[in-house]
Amino acid sequence: MDAQDVHERQEAPWEAIAPSAQPYGDGWPAPKAMDSADISAVVERFRAETVRARTAGFKVIDIYAGDGFLLHQFCSPLSNLRDDEYGGDFNNRIRLSLQVVDAIRSEWPTDLTLMFRISAVDWVDDGWGIEDTIELSKQLKYHGVDVIDCTSGGIGGPYKPNRMPLGQGFQVPFAEQVKEHAAVKTMAVGFIWDPTIANQIVADGRADFVALAR
């Protein structure tokens, strides 16, 4: 946001927070690296929103932890450069995701579905990969997640992603691998617009659900 935006909107730019104070690219403002109070506040907000969702009568929650959103940023070694208990090795980087799931499940009845949308791969060398997704999915299942919603990508910035094999159902193999190796229900998403193909994905046991729209 430049001075013209501030003048026209009468509003200063919001301060972004992230795992690390790493700007998206040249010329972008650096976010604030989250401290323990910020992390605790995020977990509490997920819990509080769960209460609102339950009160409003929702039957399903899908935690958005893919496509470069905050929880994905913590999981990916590309965007998480921390050296505390929330950074470094795999178990530290997934810690916030598990804490969020636990907070939600503390308010979300076990007979209501909890889903977790994850970017199965970053499409960047040395980034988050399918093996990471499978291991996280096993732990998410143990913490009460019913369905893994498998998307991909989203960590960009200075990292040039590898070429994605774009085509109808190109992300289905991720849902298939997670379903097989983590023994958890999965949802396939992205570039699936033919209902016949969507039905076949489920009929063939490659995923348990297919998302057709936002």
Cα(210)–Cα(149) distance, rounded to whole angstroms? 9
pTM exceeds 0.85: yes
pLDDT at 160 (0 to 100): 78
pLDDT at 178 (0 to 100): 98
| DSSP string over 141-176 | HHTT--EEEEE-----TTPPPPPP--STTTTHHHHH
Cα(147)–Cα(179) distance, rounded to whole angstroms? 9
Cα(97)–Cα(80) distance, rounded to whole angstroms? 13
> Residue 48 is part of a domain; what is its CATH number?
3.20.20.70
pLDDT at 7 (0 to 100): 84
Of the candidates 72, 184, 81, which has an alpha carbon nearest to the alpha carbon of residue 122? Answer: 72
Residues 6 or more apart whose CB falls under 8 angstroms from that of 43 comprise 96, 99, 100, 103
**108 vs 47, 100, 135, 139, CA distance in Å?**
9, 12, 24, 18
9 CB neighbour count, 10 Å cutoff: 10
Cα(18)–Cα(196) distance, rounded to whole angstroms? 40
**94 vs 10, 49, 124, 138, 184, CA distance in Å?**
38, 21, 19, 12, 18
Cα(124)–Cα(136) distance, rounded to whole angstroms? 19
pLDDT at 85 (0 to 100): 98
pLDDT at 173 (0 to 100): 98
Which residues, given as ranges, of the chain have pLDDT below 70?
Answer: 1-2, 214
CA 104 to chain centre: 15
**Parent domain of 195:** 3-210
Q: Based on the structure, what is the number of domains in the chain?
A: 1
Helix (H, G, I), strand (E, B) or coil at 63: strand
Type of residue found at 34: M
pLDDT at 214 (0 to 100): 63
What does the buried/exposed string (b/e) look like for 26-45 if buried means 16 or more CB atoms within 10 Å of the residue's CB? eeeeebebbeeeebeebbee
Residue 187 pairs in a beta bridge with 149, 209
